[in-house]
Amino acid sequence: MDSPRLDSLLKQTRFSHQDIVALLSLDEPTDVECLRKAAEAVTFQYCSNLVYYRGIVEFSNRCALDCHYCGIRRSNTRVGRFTLTKAEIVEAALWCASEGYGSVVLQSGERKDPSFIDFVEDIILTLKADSVSEALPRGLGITLCVGEQTPETYQRFFNAGAHRYLLRIETTDPGLFHEIHPENQTLDSRLACLRSLQAIGYQVGTGVMIGLPGQTLDMLARDVTFFRDFDIDMIGMGPYIRSQDTPLPGSESIEKSSAFKLGLKMIAVTRLVCRDINIAATTALQALEPDGREQGITFGANVTMPNLTPTEVRKDYQLYDGKPCINEGKGECRSCLLNRVRSVGREVGFNAWGDSKHFAGRH
Ligand code: SAM
C-alpha cells in the first residue's frame, strides 16, 4: 500500500469493511510495522502501558461437546480425563492473589449437569470470600470460561461473584462455524449466550481462531466488525493450531508463520477498531513463536494469562499440539512472564482487576 494511503488509514477512528480487509492484507514488513506502531499508540492512549494478569486455572478437561478442532473434545479417547478438587482450584487461585495477580480465569470443558454448576458456584463463593485482603479489598476478579450455559446458570455464577465471562464465537461466518462444529452446536445459540451475558451485566469477552481451514480475510474482517458492533468488552483470540487427535485438518492455504503474522495483525486491527477494550495475548501465539505473547503485547494486547494449572495435569489440557509450558510450574511461569512483559517496555498492573475501559464506558 502506498504510504500516504496507509498513513491516513491508520489515523482513522472509524473503519469500513474494506479498510479492515486492507489492513489485514498488509504484508510488507515496513507496512506491518506502521500498523503495529499505530495499534501500540492507541493502546497507550486508551489503556496505559500496564499489562494485566489473569491467572488461568484449567480445572477440568471433561467435556460434553465434540468441537472438530479441540484436543479435549468428548470423542478423544487418548486424553486422560481430570477434574481438580475444590481445594486444588482454591489453592491455585489464592496463590495467584498472594502474588498480586488480581484476577483469575476459571476454564474447563463444557458441562451443564447440576453437579458441575453447583461445583463452579461453590468455588466462586469461596474464592470471593477467601481472597479479600488489604491489597485486594474486593477480592480476586473472577472470569469464567465454561462455555454455553442457560441464562439462569449465568445469573447464578454472576450472583456468586464472577464478573467477567469469556465465550469465543470462534468464527462469525455461519458456513465456517457449521464446518468446524457438530450439528447440535449453532452460531445462533452462541450469540444468544453472549446477549444473555451482556444483559446480566458481565464484562463479556469473545474471540475467534485465526487461520482455520477455509477462512478468508473477508471473514476475519467481519469478525472484527462483529466485536465492535456487538459492543464486546474483551477479546481473547489466537491462531488455530492443529491437534492430531481431532478431525479438523490444518489449513492448506495458511502456513504456520502466516497464521502467526495474521494473529498479530488481527490484534492490531482489533485495537484500532475497538480502541478501549481489553485484548489478551494468548498462549496459542507462544505455541507458534517463543516470544509470541510479547509480540502480541506490542501489537496492541494489554492482558496476559499466566498458567496456574497444576503441572501434573497440564499435559491433559492440550487443546492443540505443541502447547507451551506443559512441564512448568506456576512459579516458573510467574518470573518468566514478568521478564517477558518488561522486555517489551511494559509494566504489570499488580493487585488490580484491570477491568475493560469499554465496559465502564457503556455503563
Ligand atoms: N469450553 C469452553 C468454551 O468453549 O468456551 C472453554 C474451553 S475451550 C477449550 C477454550 C478455547 O480453546 C475455545 O474457545 C477455542 O477457541 C480454543 N481452542 C480449542 N482448540 C483449539 C485449537 N486447536 N487451536 C486454537 N485454539 C483452540
pLDDT reading at 335 higher than 80: no
- For the Cβ of 284 lying below 6 angstroms from any atom of ligand 1, the answer is yes
Please report the pLDDT score of residue 253 as a whole number. 64
Give whole-number Cα distances, 162 to 31, 51, 138, 235, in Å: 41, 21, 12, 17
pLDDT reading at 323 higher than 90: no
88 in helix, strand or coil? Answer: helix
Contact 249, 23 (CB under 8 A): no
Among 37-46, 152-161, 263-272, 353-362, the minimum mean pLDDT is found in 353-362
- Residue 252: pLDDT band (50, 70, 90) is low
Among 87-96, 301-310, 327-336, the minimum mean pLDDT is found in 327-336
Span from the CA of 294 to the centroid of ligand 1 (angstroms): 21
- For the Cβ of 58 lying below 6 angstroms from any atom of ligand 1, the answer is no
Query: What is the rounded CA–CA span in Å between residue 35 and residue 37?
Result: 6
Contact 260, 216 (CB under 8 A): no
Span from the CA of 319 to the centroid of ligand 1 (angstroms): 7
For residues 98, 286, 69 and 233, what is the CA-based torsion angle, rounded to 10 degrees?
60
Among 167, 171, 161, 126, CA closest to 145:
167
- For the Cβ of 106 lying below 6 angstroms from any atom of ligand 1, the answer is no
Please report the pLDDT score of residue 330 as a whole number. 76
- Residue 22: pLDDT band (50, 70, 90) is very high
Please report the pLDDT score of residue 300 as a whole number. 98
Please report the pLDDT score of residue 250 as a whole number. 83
Report the percent of the chain where pLDDT is more than 90. Answer: 89
pLDDT reading at 34 higher than 70: yes
Main-chain phi, psi angles of 322, to 5 degrees:
80, 25
- Residue 326: pLDDT band (50, 70, 90) is confident
pLDDT reading at 363 higher than 90: no
Ligand 1: which of 154, 176, 209, 244 to mutate, most ligand atoms within 8 Å of CB? 209
User: Which residue reads 476454564 in cell numbers?
Assistant: 107
Tally the C-alpha atoms within 13 A of residue 215's C-alpha that lie toward its C-beta: 31
Closest-CA residue, ligand 1 atom 3, reads 147
**Cβ-proximal residues to 31 (8 Å cutoff; 6+ apart), any chain:** 1, 6
Average pLDDT score over residue span 195-208: 98
Span from the CA of 180 to the centroid of ligand 1 (angstroms): 12
Which is more confident, 268 or 330? Answer: 268
pLDDT reading at 97 higher than 80: yes
Contact 266, 297 (CB under 8 A): no
Span from the CA of 70 to the centroid of ligand 1 (angstroms): 6
**Cβ-proximal residues to 171 (8 Å cutoff; 6+ apart), any chain:** 177, 180, 208, 209, 212, 215, 219, 223
Contact 161, 142 (CB under 8 A): yes
- For the Cβ of 145 lying below 6 angstroms from any atom of ligand 1, the answer is yes
Span from the CA of 248 to the centroid of ligand 1 (angstroms): 13
- For the Cβ of 190 lying below 6 angstroms from any atom of ligand 1, the answer is no
Q: What is the mean pLDDT of the chain?
A: 95
Q: Which domains can be identified in the chain, with CATH numbers?
A: 16-345 (3.20.20.70)
Task: Dump strand ranges (E) for 66-122.
Answer: 103-108
49 in helix, strand or coil? Answer: coil
DSSP code of 170? B
Query: What is the rounded CA–CA span in Å between residue 64 and residue 45?
Result: 42
Average pLDDT score over residue span 262-290: 96
Among 324, 315, 254, CA closest to 282:
324
- Residue 337: pLDDT band (50, 70, 90) is confident
Query: Which set of grid coordinates corresponds to residue 93?
Result: 487461585
pTM above 0.95, yes or no: yes
Dihedral sign for Cα 291, 296, 299, 301, please: negative
Query: Which set of grid coordinates corresponds to residue 133?
Result: 485482603
| Ligand 1 nearest-atom number relative to CA 208 | 16
Average pLDDT score over residue span 63-84: 97
Residue-wise pLDDT for 130-179, tens only, equals 999 999 999 999 999 999 999 999 999 999 999 999 999 999 999 999 99
- For the Cβ of 287 lying below 6 angstroms from any atom of ligand 1, the answer is no
